[in-house]
Chain A
């Protein structure tokens, strides 16, 4: 079964979003996405300070099969990206909601994450997508 933690928000392009206590958001790819991609072998994350529009392609995850773009769930500025992924891309497979996080973002609009999919809505979307 795919893991979809109930305390996170989601996108239809299979990113997850966690709101941090300081108002920033943390972004990664979902368990469903990592399972569909297979073993990840290369990850490219955006540099700190880069401004991103919502839905802008901002990271690349490459598996044994193919390269896929990751889209920024919200507009904002990158404050930090996960440097461990350069040497350990398998963290994305092993712990997609934890050690496999991609970037942390200062959103340009406060509470913008509210507009994203809930866990229940994302699960429903996965169901429909697989039909």
Chain B
């Protein structure tokens, strides 16, 4: 028996297949993972992601603290509501977690971190926050619903009171706003447009039911994983962890080396890694028949690599993967799939964005 989100009973009573994820009993699918995947790509689906951890940071020196804590640069956050994706590194530049930080006000920022890393993240953040006088507040009172798909925003907007609808509709990409009880953010993890709704846990079952009544389909963590894989997005624990650095995990774009005088945790180690990079994260498209899976070995002309996430892409109807390979490994590689060497093409993720394949088959 694991931890439960405020929507556990809702999932269980709708026949969801429940699995453990990050210590939580979560819905894997509600019948067919592939149908849920297509629903999000073509219309609108809703995921319960209340297992993720919301942390509010408060105090006049919060921005200064985050400039030190995060590998991306919160100086980029000028407009209130604006969000930034970042890694939180240790001194060796290993990834403690990846997260989204929202700029709410100068003395109030919000982090959303992964479920499985909650305890170590809170301990790390609290240990660093002390000397900045920043309060670290875990928001266990909030649930998170991710409504994703080309029709997701239209359908979700109907749940908002008239007075807040225009403001929510006008949210730019990667921004959020507190609208009454709800924090509405135009973010997600599927490669589609949509909202993430951070709402009081007590109101989550009603919001879930109301979304379904608007024709939004329930979607489980299975579809969430295939959607994010197609979108080329990293999953903590697969693409990166404390033994891996962001540069060799496809996340160099999230590290802000400039300005040169910003001292953030992990910077010195990252500069060394950058000048001596040996591996890179790439996409793979299987050209033979079969299914790529995590941990399979990839043979290249520059030595072996490894699949970090693999699976079947419902949009491309082919198997795809993310893999960490030696630099300059070329376009054609072979993957050891259950003892057979299958051919795969090295491609640049994402594979799919906004319903459209970006890779030629």
**Interface positions of A (Cβ within 8 A of B):** 38-39, 41-42, 44, 60, 62, 64-67, 86, 93
- Nearest A residue to B34 via CB reads A39
Closest-by-CB residue of B relative to A93 is: B32
Would you call B293 and A67 a contact (CB within 8 A)? yes
- Interchain CB contact (< 8 A) of B338 among A41, A64, A67, A93: A67
Apart from A38-B17, A64-B222, A67-B338, what are 17 other A-B pairs with CB-CB below 8 Å?
A38-B32, A38-B33, A38-B222, A39-B32, A39-B34, A42-B289, A42-B290, A42-B319, A44-B289, A60-B338, A62-B290, A62-B312, A64-B34, A65-B28, A66-B293, A67-B291, A93-B32
Whether B29 contacts A86 by the Cβ 8 Å rule is no
Please indicate the chain B residues that have their CB under 8 angstroms from the CB of A42 in the complex.
Answer: 289-291, 312, 319
* Least Cβ–Cβ distance between B294 and chain A, in angstroms: 10
Q: Which residues in window 289-315 of B have CB below 8 A to A? A: 289-291, 293, 311-312
B226, CB-defined interface residue at 8 Å: yes
A33 to chain B, nearest CB (A): 14
Q: Which residue of B lies closest to A64 (CB)?
A: B33
Chain B residues with CB below 8 A from A39, complex form: 32-34
- CB neighbours (8 Å) of A93 from chain B are 32
Q: Would you give the 0/1 interface string for B213-243, flagging 1 where the beta carbon is closer than 8 Å to chain A?
A: 0000000001000100000000000000000
Partner of B312, one of A60, A64, A86: A64
Bound-state CA distance A67–B311 (Å) is: 10
Number of A-B residue pairs with CB-CB distance less than 8 Å in the complex they form: 38
Closest A-B pairs by Cβ, 5 of them: A41-B312, A39-B34, A62-B291, A64-B33, A42-B291
Closest approach, in angstroms, between the C-beta of B309 and any C-beta of chain A?
13
**C-beta contact mask, B27-51 vs A, less than 8 Å → 1, else 0?**
0110011100000000000000000
Task: Closest B residue to A69 by CB, please name it.
Answer: B338
Inter-subunit contact A64/B290 (CB<8 Å): no
List of B residues within 8 angstroms of A41 by Cβ: 34, 291, 312, 319
In this complex, the member of A42, A60, A64, A67 whose beta carbon has the largest number of chain B beta carbons within 10 angstroms is: A64
Q: Identify which of A44, A65, A93 gathers the most chain B CB atoms within 10 Å of its CB.
A: A65
Contact assessment for B29 and A38 in the assembled complex, using a CB-CB cutoff below 8 Å: yes
Question: A65 is contacted by which of B32, B222, B290, B319 (Cβ under 8 Å)?
Answer: B222
C-alpha spacing A64/B338, complex, angstroms: 16
Which residues of B lie under 8 Å from residue A86 when comparing CB positions? 289
Contacts A/B (CB < 8 Å), 12 sampled? A38-B17, A38-B28, A38-B33, A42-B291, A42-B312, A60-B338, A64-B33, A64-B34, A64-B311, A64-B312, A65-B222, A67-B338
Note all chain A residues with C-beta closer than 8 A to B226.
64
Residues in A with CB closer than 8 Å to B293 are 66-67
Residues of A within 8 A of B312 (CB): 41-42, 62, 64
- When distances are taken between beta carbons in the complex, the residues of chain A under 8 Å from B34 are 39, 41, 64
Chain A residues lying within 8 Å of B222, measured Cβ to Cβ, are 38, 64-65
Of B289, B293, B312, most A-chain CB atoms within 10 Å = B312
Nearest CB in chain A: distance from B277 CB, A = 33
Please give, as numbers and ranges, the residues of chain A lying within 8 Å of B319 by CB-CB distance. Answer: 41-42
Binary per-residue interface labels of chain B (109-144) against chain A in the complex, 1 for a CB within 8 Å, 0 otherwise: 000000000000000000000000000000000000
Residue in chain B with minimal CB distance to A36: B17
Contacts of A67 in B (CB 8 A): 291, 293, 338
Most buried by B among A39, A60, A66, A86: A39
Instruction: Kindly provide the distance from the CB of A56 to the nearest chain B CB, expressed in whole angstroms.
Output: 15
Distance, CA A64 to CA B222, complexed state (A): 8
List of B residues within 8 angstroms of A65 by Cβ:
28, 222
User: Hey, which chain B residues are within 8 Å of A62, CB to CB?
Assistant: 290-291, 312
Q: Separation in Å of the A60 CB from the closest CB of chain B? A: 7
Tell me the complex Cα distance, A93–B32, Å. Answer: 10
Alpha-carbon distance between A39 and B289 when the two chains are bound, in angstroms: 17
With A and B bound together, what is the CA distance between A62 and B292 in angstroms? 10
| Chain A residues positioned under 8 Å from B338 (CB to CB) | 60, 67
Q: Across the two chains, which residue of chain A brings its CB closest to B312?
A: A41
Please give, as numbers and ranges, the residues of chain A lying within 8 Å of B28 by CB-CB distance: 38, 65
Question: Whole-angstrom distance from the CB of A128 to the nearest CB of chain B?
Answer: 21
* Smallest CB gap from B29: residue in A: A38
